[in-house]
């Protein structure tokens, strides 16, 4: 189980970081469009659809990465007061009730949706440029598959937590919640005061 967790975390992290570069491309396209529209009075036909595709790529492909780093919004006001084994049990049950039905549907129906788009070489109806969007629609089932892999990893984490009473360590996150930083700083200060 632990080796699968490492594999899933590495896969989610690498995909999340790779697609994070879409932000740079999106920013470049937006700056280009602003310059063309306001400085040269010659707006492009394609940039709106291009921006939608870049934003869609970022949004879809960041899901598994966000799950692997525990960065999703979570209402844990009561949850964090429970013992760790109870937290693991709650997570295990909720993954099967809520998470997997949704991501399995995303992967399964997304596959049909993307296949149909490839079959007809679908183009955008949003703008006169009618740029091709069938390649972007391929990210729907891909995002579902990545979420399934990461979801299995999270189930394994829950099982390990229930068995051992401790959550398995996660790979270091790029960002950390302020609350966790403050708690760690406070604990470090308490230890220094004791010494």
pLDDT digits (tens, 9 = 90+) for 76-101: 788 889 999 999 999 999 999 999 99
* pLDDT tens by residue, 133-173: 888 899 999 999 999 999 999 999 999 999 999 999 887 66
What local confidence, expressed as pLDDT, does residue 114 receive? 94
What are the sequence ranges of the domains in the chain?
2-194
Per residue, what are the HEC states of the chain?
CHHHHHHHHHHHHHHHHHHHCHHHHHHHHHHHHHHHHHHCCCCCCCHHHHHHHHHHHHHHHCHHHHHHCCCCCCCCCCHHHCCHHHHHHHHHHHHHHHHHHHHHHHHHHHHHHHHHHHHHCCECCCCCCCCECHHHHCHHHHHHHHHHHHHHHHHHHHHHHHHHCCCCCCCCCCCCCHHHHHHHHHHHHHHHHHC
Q: What is the pLDDT of residue 158?
A: 96
């Amino acid at each position: 189980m632990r080796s699968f967790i490492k594999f899933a975390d590495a896969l989610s992290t690498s995909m999340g970081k790779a697609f994070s570069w879409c932000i740079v491309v999106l920013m470049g396209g937006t700056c280009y469009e602003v310059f063309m529209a306001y400085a040269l009075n010659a707006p492009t036909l394609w940039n709106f659809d291009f921006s939608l595709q870049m934003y869609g790529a970022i949004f879809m492909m960041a899901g598994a990465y966000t799950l692997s780093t525990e960065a999703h919004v979570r209402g844990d006001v009561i949850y964090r007061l429970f013992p760790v084994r109870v937290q693991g049990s709650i997570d295990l049950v909720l993954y099967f009730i809520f998470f997997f039905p949704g991501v399995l549907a995303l992967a399964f129906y997304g596959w049909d949706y993307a296949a149909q788009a490839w079959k007809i070489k679908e183009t955008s109806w949003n703008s006169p440029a009618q740029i091709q969007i069938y390649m972007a629609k391929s990210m729907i089932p891909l995002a579902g598959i990545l979420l399934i892999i990461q979801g299995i990893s999270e189930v394994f984490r829950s099982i390990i937590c229930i068995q051992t009473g401790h959550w398995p360590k996660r790979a270091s996150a790029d960002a950390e919640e302020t609350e966790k930083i403050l708690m760690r700083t406070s604990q470090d200060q308490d230890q220094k005061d004791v010494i």
